[in-house]
Amino acid sequence: MNFLISISYDGSKFYGFQRLNNHDTIQAKLEEALTIINKKPVTIKGAGRTDRGVHAYDQKATFKLDIKISEDHLKKALNSLVKPYIYITDVKIVSAKFHARFNTFKKEYIYKINLGSYNPLFTDYYYTPEYPLDLKKLKACARIFLGVHNFQNFVAGTRTNYECIIYDIKFTKHQDILEIKFIGKSFYRYMVRNLVGAMLDVSRGKNTIADIKYALDNPEIPKRFSTALPNGLYLNKIYYKE
């Protein structure tokens, strides 16, 4: 049977999602638990790879098991083995061809910023800037990123294609916490953190809106902006077509 699971996790306790030798990762922890349940090695396919320190509310993964087990029993068995920093919120049996990554329709990421006083308990879960933010500049910068662009100057590493679409960027403020939600078709390595970093650069006057626009319009000319810290980033939701 082919299963799709929804996963939440505290990324501060792991070296990212993807399996790494000699390091604790979410993928390794899940595969170890599934191998115990299945009594044979299991490999999962994640919807995306989050970096070290990045959290998730709704990561997805697919995998196949040789045993017969109900969705509810699998959820309970998995959680008994992967808690407390990973928790399976949902388990579904899907078609044999369904793939957590390739069937993705849309993704949401949230970046959380603490605008209040420094709080050591927030260290792993929010970014706390050492300077005041200009919300108007952040929003003006965000509008430039909307739509289809070549994001080469905002992606780490090399790819054959840097083009993707951002449908929306929403700002929400709850007391001293600012949340920036990115909604798009897909996001490449460090892309959300680089977009946030560029926005922060503009907010504090290190770069201008014109610099951001130029970097988008001229991707072949290297231009680097700051990369926001991973601790404020959350994979919020993965969407699949019905």
Each residue of 104-152: pLDDT tens digit?
999 999 999 999 999 999 999 999 999 999 999 999 999 999 999 999 9
Predicted TM-score of the model (pTM): 0.94
Of residues 10, 24, 51, 201, which has the active-site annotation?
A: 51
Task: Grade residue 88 by pLDDT with cuts at 50, 70 and 90.
Answer: very high
The pLDDT of residue 242: 63
91 near 3, Cβ under 8 Å?
Answer: yes
Query: Is 51 an active-site residue?
Result: yes
The dihedrals phi and psi of 134, each to the nearest 5 degrees, come to -100, 100
Location of each CATH 3.30.70.580 domain in the chain: 2-94
Location of each CATH 3.30.70.660 domain in the chain: 105-240
Average pLDDT over residues 162-176: 96
pLDDT at 239 exceeding the cut of 90: yes
Fold entry, domain 2-94: Alpha-Beta Plaits (3.30.70)
pLDDT at 210 exceeding the cut of 90: yes
Return the CATH number of 105-240, one of 3.30.2290.10, 3.30.70.660, 3.90.950.20, 3.30.1360.120: 3.30.70.660
CA atoms within 13 A on the CB side of 90: 12
Please report where in the chains the tokens 């999962």 appear, as a residue. Answer: 44
Token pair recorded at residue 228:
């926001």
What's the gap between Cα 224 and its chain centre? 21
CB atoms within 10 A of CB 74: 22
| Cα Rg of the chain, angstroms | 19
